[in-house]
Structure 1
């Protein structure tokens, strides 16, 4: 293989069917404009920032944009088939995380998971959103979905999505991804921990977007409620202890999409998460200049900081290869000898 350094686990694809679905719904409800995308420009970008392998995914709101009925199921299937074709046409460079219907369509989601993992058998895992309707991912309604994912020993990439808060936009029209998305990731990660849902799924691995939002900063604050006694949820049917919390907190993987600044990297290292950090670009929702700036910041830290070896190209790539190998996927032999 070529000597490019990174595997990108947070990079997006925008098939025409998805662009059309968003337009039909009146636009992305997060307020963020849909960028242009083609496989040609995508490959041009990944080559420019030393990405050897890109794991594509359809970002938020995903098939939920078509609702939680037949139309949403159909869009999920169409997207999975279209993105699988893109991966097939670019072997060795492109893989993908498959999409699911809106999780409030529980049966539709279970059926699509069977298609993804038993019939199609091409995806490395699935991308899911932080919320579906007014439900966080630890909601009891979604328990059958988590069980199915655990049965398949799936990698689950959790991506933030818009949510209905008041006011919806900061400063009148600031798109939600800029500020709200990291908090959305934190809220659903906390929900998975405190409902015990993550602990009920020992066979899955979860990747949290954007360095886990503010979880590294707030985890100790969250755990404080467990100092006096275990936390009960589901009407007392589920009990989470401090040991449960700490054990499952350390299971989360986190990508560095738009999270390569010095304060973020210092927090992640203090959080003792460096064995679970992965590279991400967030292209094309992060502009080419924005993504390159984030990568440059990561490069500078890795080269100039005494702790830089904990987040350099070799470390991030080896973390990613080990995660996928754990789930039965060999992405090949990468030359990760670069010091970044």
Structure 2
């Protein structure tokens, strides 16, 4: 069986146009496209902007990555992201082999304990929110969703009959099922009903399409206009897709919920370094405190390794609460 020929971008195009062409050919997410193109630009500018990457190689890549660790003090995940972008550039765009293991100065990976809210603090936070953002925050805490999992939720993935929400193609690629809290079922049903009405109006105006993963779009060409594929939290206005050029209704921007949570933290007088992801951390921690088996929590969180879930055991309210500080025993 012959292997599929390697895709080659237009050699007459500028470097960044070639990078985007290859990213889109392989159907990388738009956020990944933005990230990778940014790192390629930074790499080129690091060497003065005059030397083409094809005239550089492993040594220059290692030097750039070492600079990120030593001078810019980036996190280990950020350095790895930059490495992935440059490996993509050389391997997929320039068709150049960088050779065996790239070995820059590595950023030390620190295992920070997650910030967790108490149940009372969660109640206070949610009490300061209203409308769609309040519902989204309840999903983050009540289901342990990541921010983008909530924002990208589609109607077809909410099963009111079974009381389940299906998370498709999340970070790490592990699909999972979470429990739909009873307390927000009615509110979520009302939200879905409003989306159905909005979608009907969009169809009446000749629109109504929604973004679909490339493979789904090819297999089911009419799915983009089906109600089931619409986002549970659609944007107020339609917009032009920067890649396809189509005008359609995307999901809401994540920044809106982020700002709403930050504002609610201030109003609730919660003085912790917290945000949307803190609600996911709190979900896991509170389940463990309630006696839920850690393996069950691992599945609900979508962790590949239980060791990732175990970090929440370090921030649980345990018997430590019963211990008195020696300072308090002084007369």
- Structure 1 and Structure 2 fold alike (TM over 0.5): no
Q: Judging by fraction of residues, say which structure has more strand.
A: 1
The TM-score normalised by the length of structure 1 is 0.25
Higher helix share: 2
Normalised TM-score (structure 2) = 0.25
Larger Cα-atom Rg: 2
Q: Which gives a bigger RCO, structure 1 or 2 (Cα 8 Å, sep 6+)? A: 1
